[in-house]
Structure 1
């Protein structure tokens, strides 16, 4: 209504038409953001899908939409963040293990020999993922971190025995050979009992679990490789290092 009480038709002051508009405008760092969601079709490698999208955007669409930036988020972004966090925790754990072992063995080199079991265990994990086609998931990563603490047990038993024999006056080479021959039974029994306990879960006795079965399989295969390294590779390296040290001292 006007001041004198007359009614003015809305069509005389405005044009009415139906159009679509953005219900909510989101901004990130001052830039307008539009979120597009999608689900992966079947069991595909999400990392490869995201890499393909980014490659297609860079090669084809980026030149057409120069004011638009593509940022891949969702589960892929969460997984990448989680991976970095777990990596930091893993590095801290390895450092603490080195400090504890260095204090226990009163040596700087022997903790390195013991911790060599960890990369050998990870080699087994990588081979397991490649052969079985199991995707790299958070479950596998968590089990690999747990494996790092399990894999060093055999090497600790072996090197402790070698140090005891050397303290009794036995030559390094003889101590290494004796440790490899006499400690093989307890080392194998320890590993085999652990593997036997994980085997039903790994093969899915009573039903396959997408969470627990890959975790058990990861620990099993990694433990096999760490046991092999403890029985063969670590004794050889121990003998080579301390024989060279003894010769240099002489």
Structure 2
């Protein structure tokens, strides 16, 4: 029996992949490189298409990339509205690429391949890891408002907010860690997602505590980061005279 599609004779090849030894995308790439390229040279009229898991994965990845881009834009706009600055949201969002370092190392340590659930975990990290950065940036802004220089406030930020930042991350890591060691068949699909979240948060937390204050100071040296702007170009200072009468002096 000869199957035809659009009056063209077709041959369908099916295969199952042992996920412990290889991945579907790696097998397809190898087949395209070693076999299909040679066949198209020998038979110029032959055409082929990759279907199944690999095709669906490509569609899903493009959709998730668009979703992540929209999420990043949304985070930036919300932070810009909160901080009334276009630079400080970028300082906060620098924690997102830091998380990717942990995602890659986590998959290497756990010995698992980067898959679609792994990508989903990284995308979800975009809204999680910025929390630690927001804590530090808010602290710097408040200390500068109280009179400290930007360099002193940035240096003090990681020290004074260390407990709050670490507890924020540790609670999430503690809740997700048991899933990493789950052995049931139903949980196997979630292990890459949990790996991305746990190791992404861990790496981002460590790097944010070290790098973000330094980045803030560097940008301030260039006159880009301005954590406190007085209203109408004036600063108000409270003064009490010898008669005990309090007043405000504008500078």
Q: Normalising to structure 1: TM-score of the pair? A: 0.82
Residue 234 of structure 1 is matched in structure 2 by: 212
Q: Distance in 2 between matches of 1:135 and 1:240?
A: 37
Deviations 1:56-101 (A, max 9, x none): 2354222221110122121011111111110110011001100110
Contact 1:26 1:34 in 2 (8 A): no
SS in 2 for 1:199: helix
Q: Normalising to structure 2: TM-score of the pair? A: 0.82
Deviations 1:40-71 (A, max 9, x none): 24531221210111112354222221110122
Alpha-carbon RMSD across the aligned residues, in angstroms, is 2.1
* 2:123 is equivalent to residue 158 of structure 1: no
* 2:149 is equivalent to residue 171 of structure 1: yes
Going from structure 1 to structure 2, the CA distance change for 1:42 and 1:203 (only over 3 Å counts) comes to: closer
Q: Distance in 1 between matches of 2:182 and 2:74?
A: 35
Which range is displaced more, 233-242 or 213-222? 213-222
- Count of residue correspondences: 223
* 2:179 is equivalent to residue 185 of structure 1: no
SS in 2 for 1:25: strand
Stretches of structure 2 lacking an aligned partner (at least 5 in a row): 225-251
**4+ residue stretches of structure 1 with deviation over 3 A?**
30-34, 205-208
Alignment partner for residue 51 of structure 1, among 12, 23, 29? 29
Alignment partner for residue 223 of structure 1, among 195, 201, 209? 201
> Higher Cα Rg: structure 1 or 2?
1
SS in 1 for 2:41: coil
Going from structure 1 to structure 2, the CA distance change for 1:173 and 1:42 (only over 3 Å counts) comes to: closer
* 2:122 is equivalent to residue 144 of structure 1: yes
Residue 89 of structure 2 is matched in structure 1 by: 111
Residue 228 of structure 2 is matched in structure 1 by: none
Contact 1:139 1:215 in 2 (8 A): yes
SS in 1 for 2:72: helix
- Give the Å deviation of 1:31: 5.5
